[in-house]
Amino acid sequence: MNYLKHILFVLLITAIGVSAVYAQSTLTMQNVSVINEQGHVRLSWEYDGTEDLVIFRDSLAISSLSPIDTIYDPSITNYTDESAHANLTPRLYKIQSATTPNDIYTPIISTYQLTYDYDSCEAVINIHWTELQHNDLPDNQWNPSGFIIYQYENGILQETNINNSHSSYSIVNIKENTNYTFKIGVEWAETDSIGFSNPVSKFTEMPQSPDYINAIYTRANGNNTDLKFEVAPNSELTTYKLLYSTSPTGSYDTLKTITTTDLEVITTHENSNPNAEITYYKLVAINNCGNMSTPSDIINNILLTLEREENTHSLGWNYFKEYDLPDAHYELYRSKDNAEAQLIRSFSNHNTFDDEIETSAQEIVHGLFCYYIQAAETGSSEYSRSNTVCVYLEPDIFIPEAITPNGDGKNDELKIQPDLSLLPGKYQLIIYDRWLNIIFQTSNPGEAWNGRYSSGKKVPTGVYIYYLKIKIPDNQLIEKRGNITVFYP
């Protein structure tokens, strides 16, 4: 009886000991991550047993898992699979005891393979990720609770969390000629650790857009406007569009497409009417996808206007680059009777001026006065130029009230003062008798009336009627009518 009790006691103690061993031997997968672009995979686990562990990986040839290595040291809790090629395909892993595989094992877990496609024209990178599925494997794989998108732009990290229903993600507003690296983090439902996909990298190489395009000048050229822009030397693009608008903040239309490798783009807006209209321009670089990239600053033509009040010419103009007013200087030029224009005043960001034409008793000032404005940013030798405006300053025309054509050399003829032969333009002088019969007429401003009929006979003493018409160069019309008395002292 005592012997039987002893046997039962030994069996009980043995069973308790074995149970204790099993209770203490736990194997838990902690993380499975692809660690580089070559697709190496690192596994990590927790294990408190003493048995050897076998690492299994799926076979590319058959739909099953096969052993790839054995861990003989129970203190080792990580493993790197350098032959996984998980950058080419997702891989399945599990770890189990070499002695009691049905009791000590991990669930099957898949790596995630990340791929991408780049749409340079839409400036989008689409990333896609997949895990490995085998229909004949038991449904004990780990499940993700969410994903983290890791985006590195020139080394600067940005993270985006998305839910577990996604298998792709689009990154928009991708910059040209920029280094990007992406990977996804897998938040496993079974653990607090995060697994990682293989990283993928892309340099978004395209022909380099210019760092800047500077608008240099607009110049009125008759009814056309000449323009110049300066392109940054880093530009690898050769196509540009010249855009124009009637408002700096309005919609811009394409005026022309320009193809050039020059860094100075000089062009003309034909029939732009710079004498009456303000037009706003910008030059935009066009990339290989036909999309606009770098725009220039906005520049406009300078419209000069003139109002005359007696001998004062009031001038006004709009600023060049008026949308974003730079530090600039302005110069006002004036010419008289088509002589070479002279600088008469300089300004700093000023747009009005009254030009008072000085006269004196000794000098009767008249003639064609023309003006234009030049403007440039401070420090620049390139200038914009306005339209040219002209006004004819007519002389004070003196017509005597009487003549005495007696041949004494004093007041013998009607001569218009000042000498209208100096005035270019159309001229007509007509003398009527009191019955409105024409007794003298001329279109020569240098010809005077000497008080005779066309036959040469002297007209009798009396009152006669004159009519004077002058059309001066700026198309102003001067008309004068009155009486002139002829008598013989």
pLDDT at 62: 52
pLDDT, mean of residues 316-321: 96
pLDDT at 205: 86
57-66, 93-102, 218-227 — most confident range: 218-227
Residues 41 and 142 in one domain: yes
In a domain, 2, yes or no: no
d(CA 374, CA 385): 5
In a domain, 17, yes or no: no
Nearest to 405 by CA among 467, 446, 464, 445: 464
Is pLDDT of 59 > 50? yes
Residues 53 and 191 in one domain: yes
Is pLDDT of 35 > 90? yes
In a domain, 14, yes or no: no
Task: Measure CA 315 to chain center.
Answer: 33
d(CA 489, CA 478): 33
Residues 58 and 96 in one domain: yes
In a domain, 324, yes or no: yes
Amino acid letter, residue 489: P
b (16+ CB within 10 A) / e for 32-45: bbbbeeebbbbbeb
pLDDT band at residue 478 under the 50/70/90 scheme: confident
Paired residues of 393 in beta bridges: 367
Is pLDDT of 410 > 80? yes
d(CA 347, CA 330): 5
**Structural domain boundaries, residue 370:** 313-393
pLDDT at 354: 95
pLDDT at 311: 81
pLDDT band at residue 60 under the 50/70/90 scheme: low
pLDDT, mean of residues 313-334: 94
Residues 187 and 39 in one domain: yes
d(CA 290, CA 206): 12
Map tokens 């009487």 to a residue.
402
**pLDDT tens by residue, 345-364:** 999 888 999 998 876 444 55
pLDDT band at residue 22 under the 50/70/90 scheme: very low
Residue at a domain's end among 143, 176, 203 = 203
Amino acid letter, residue 105: Y
Residue at a domain's end among 355, 373, 393 = 393
Which range among 199-203, 235-239, 329-333, 409-413 shows the weakest confidence by mean pLDDT? 409-413
Residues 332 and 424 in one domain: no
| Tally of structural domains, the chain | 4
Is pLDDT of 38 > 90? yes
Residue at a domain's end among 203, 238, 262 = 203
CA atoms lying within 13 Å on the CB side of residue 143: 7
Residues 217 and 146 in one domain: no
Q: DSSP of 193-228, one letter per residue?
A: -EEE---EEEE---SPPPS-EEEEEEEEETTEEEEE
pLDDT at 247: 96
Q: DSSP of 259-271, one letter per residue?
A: E---SEEEEEETT
Q: DSSP of 296-336, one letter per residue?
A: PPPEE---EEEEEETTEEEEEEPPTTGGG--SEEEEEEEEE
pLDDT at 299: 98
Residues 245 and 122 in one domain: no
**pLDDT tens by residue, 228-251:** 999 999 999 999 999 999 999 999
In a domain, 184, yes or no: yes
Nearest to 209 by CA among 126, 298, 283: 283
For residues 330 and 190, the model is more confident at 330
Is pLDDT of 12 > 50? no
In a domain, 104, yes or no: yes
Residues 82 and 180 in one domain: yes
Q: How is residue 20 annotated by DSSP? A: H
Residues 188 and 65 in one domain: yes
78-82, 420-424, 443-447 — most confident range: 78-82
CATH of the domain at 422: 2.60.40
> CA-based angle 233:234:237, to the nearest 5?
100
Residues 377 and 433 in one domain: no
d(CA 308, CA 330): 22
In a domain, 293, yes or no: yes
**pLDDT tens by residue, 266-285:** 999 999 999 999 999 999 99
Residues 49 and 198 in one domain: yes
Is pLDDT of 18 > 70? no
pLDDT at 134: 56
d(CA 5, CA 18): 20
The encoded tokens of residue 14 equal: 């043995």
Residues 451 and 356 in one domain: no
In a domain, 100, yes or no: yes
Q: How is residue 175 annotated by DSSP? A: P
DSSP-based three-state secondary structure for 275: coil
CATH of the domain at 337: 2.60.40.10
pTM beyond 0.75, yes or no: no
Residue 100 burial (10 A CB sphere; 0-12, 13-18, 19+): middle
Amino acid letter, residue 358: E
285 C-beta neighbours (distance < 10 Å), count: 25
